[in-house]
Amino acid sequence: NGRSLHIIVDDSGDFVYTAGLPGQLYRVPVFPTFADAIAIAVTGSDTDITHIVFTPSDGAFYTSSDAGGQGSFGSIVFSGNLSTAVTTRLMANLGAAHSMVYDALTGLLVLAGHTDVVQIDPAQPSNIVATLDVGARLGIAVQLDAVTLDGQGRMLISSNLGEVVLVDYSTSLSDVSQARFVGAQFLANNLD
């Protein structure tokens, strides 16, 4: 759709990847200098991508969803000098299939979208390790969007409804459903 909404830096630090909601996946050279975006020809289960993440040893993964977060999660394999990619859907209709990060502290993928935070082991990516329904835990409406981690067992997630959500899972690293604290603070309408 021509919009860049989520970005991820590759392991080399030389490129960022970005896509729409969902949309065309692009690779953008950023080091040593910025250059024009390069469209990646994506084939396979899902061709419109929302977010991708690279893991140290289990390859790359993608999400494909609209702003509501309900969508697909799977693996993505790049080839042809990173100009082509093939997706393999591992889960469909997953509420958290929107934003995604690799948690170096646990070795798990953390996905956030809709009202859910999900942890997935990239070595066994067809299985969900744990799920936290943030909306139910807080008793408020949320539409989770971008997630980031502090590396110490806490995550911050923006909600498109205006909240910033804090999840402290430091005492239950591999089971976010047992987070010791989940809180939200309204910040601004249409937060992204």
pLDDT per residue as tens digits for the range 93-106 = 999 999 999 999 99
| Nearest residue to 43 via CA among 2, 76, 6 | 76
Stated as kind and residue range, the H or E segment containing 134 is helix 134-138
Question: Which residues does 74 contact at the CB level (< 8 Å), separation at least 6?
Answer: 45, 46, 61, 62, 64, 87, 88, 89, 90, 91, 125
| pLDDT at residue 92, rounded to an integer | 97
- Confidence class for position 1, pLDDT limits 50, 70, 90: very low
pLDDT in tens, 34-51: 899 999 999 999 999 999
Per the CB < 8 A criterion, the answer to whether 61 and 122 are in contact is yes
Residues in the chain: 192
Q: In this structure, what token pair is assigned to residue 44?
A: 């396979």
177 φ, ψ (degrees, to nearest 5):
-65, -20
Stated as kind and residue range, the H or E segment containing 136 is helix 134-138
| pLDDT at residue 190, rounded to an integer | 75
